[in-house]
Structure 1
Amino acid sequence: MSEAQDYIDELARRRGYAFRLHKILAGADLDLLKAMDGMVSQAYLTERRLDKRTKELLFILSLTVMRAPHTQIVTHIKLALAAGATPEEILEAIEIALPEAGIVAFQGGVQAWAEVVGAPEIEPRAD
């Protein structure tokens, strides 16, 4: 098996996911992927003072504020749930985005959250 394949397999195992960017870089620039992964591993994956649950909540907030791709927000909502966060805690983290990032960013986070947790939508009644 190739070094790139071995690396992307290990990355996905450690993180619980591999995004398209990771897969592309594994084949196109493995050295850069390794450098990026090292930084992310230290800041995000390694539990130092913040536990995984807290880091996922912060990650969801930052991804929402940055208007990250829907799939990234969904992935981290699932990881937060797996780390013990409740749906209500995740929504509250997303709500922090509203005053600073605005309704468009907030809407993206809420829609990703609703998709993952199966939040009901209340339709207005017809007059």
Structure 2
Amino acid sequence: MDEVAYVEDLVRRRGYALMYHRVLAKHDLPVLRAADGLVSAAYLEHRSLDRKTKELLFVLSLTVLRGDPAHIASHVRVALEVGATPTEILEAIEIALPEAGVVAFQHGFDVWREVVGAEGVVLPSEAETGAK
């Protein structure tokens, strides 16, 4: 399987491909295959946890580690695709607060907000002036 076919298969199995997957496929496909094997065993293969739970855990762990926003967003999107609600994803991100703090929480929260299109309350004074 060539590198393009491999990345297409990765997208089919995971639901996304990050830029590092694409670059590594072109420059060191054997290492991508090895890393993908570990991810497949721990994340993609059916075991005790269902895919929705694994996606929520991924969103939380990437939030705590302050992962790349595109990486977090990809898991938020897949979580939605496999049946998680925006509220369930937010609850997973909120678990970061007591253990990793508000800065880590805000990192994941901002990605979640953008992906799901969440808006805040508009104060009466802002509604009158059009300020946000």
Band of TM-score, shorter chain: over 0.9
Q: Which residue of 1 aligns with 2:129?
A: none
The one-letter code sitting in structure 1 at the alignment partner of 2:120 is: E
Structure 1 match to 2:117: 118
Amino acid at match of 1:83: V
**1:70: which partner in 2?**
69
Give the aligned partner of residue 105 of structure 1.
104
Please identify, of 117-126 and 97-106, the stretch whose mean Cα deviation from structure 2 is larger.
Answer: 117-126
Tell me what 1:8 maps to.
Answer: 7
Using the alignment, how far apart are the partners of 1:105 and 1:124 within structure 2?
27
Alignment-derived partner of residue 32 in structure 1: 31
User: Structure 2: where are the runs of 5+ without partners?
Assistant: 127-132
1:6 CA drift (Å):
1.7
Question: What amino acid is the match of 1:64?
Answer: T
Residue aligning to 2:130:
none
SS in 2 for 1:48: coil
Query: Size of the alignment, in residue pairs?
Result: 126
Query: 1:108 Cα shift?
Result: 1.1
Counterpart Cα distance in 2 of 1:52 and 1:8: 20
Q: CA deviation at 1:126?
A: 4.0
Deviations 1:16-44 (A, max 9, x none): 11100101110111110000000001101
Which letter does structure 2 place at the counterpart of 1:55?
K
Counterpart position of 1:19: 18
TM score, norm. by length of structure 2: 0.89
Deviation track 1:61-83 (CA, whole Å, cap 9, x = no partner) reads 00000000111111111111111
Which amino acid letter does the alignment assign opposite residue 52 of structure 1?
A: R
Q: Percent identity?
A: 56
SS at match of 2:49: coil
1:5 maps to a residue whose letter is: V
Q: Structure 1: which 5+ runs fail to align?
A: none
Larger radius of gyration: 2
TM-score, length of structure 1 as denominator length? 0.93
Mapped to 2, the partners of 1:5 and 1:83 lie a distance apart of: 25
Q: Which moved more, 1:113-122 or 1:86-95?
A: 113-122
Shift of 1:123: 4.2
CA RMSD of aligned residues (A): 1.5
| Superposition deviation, residue 7 in structure 1 | 1.1
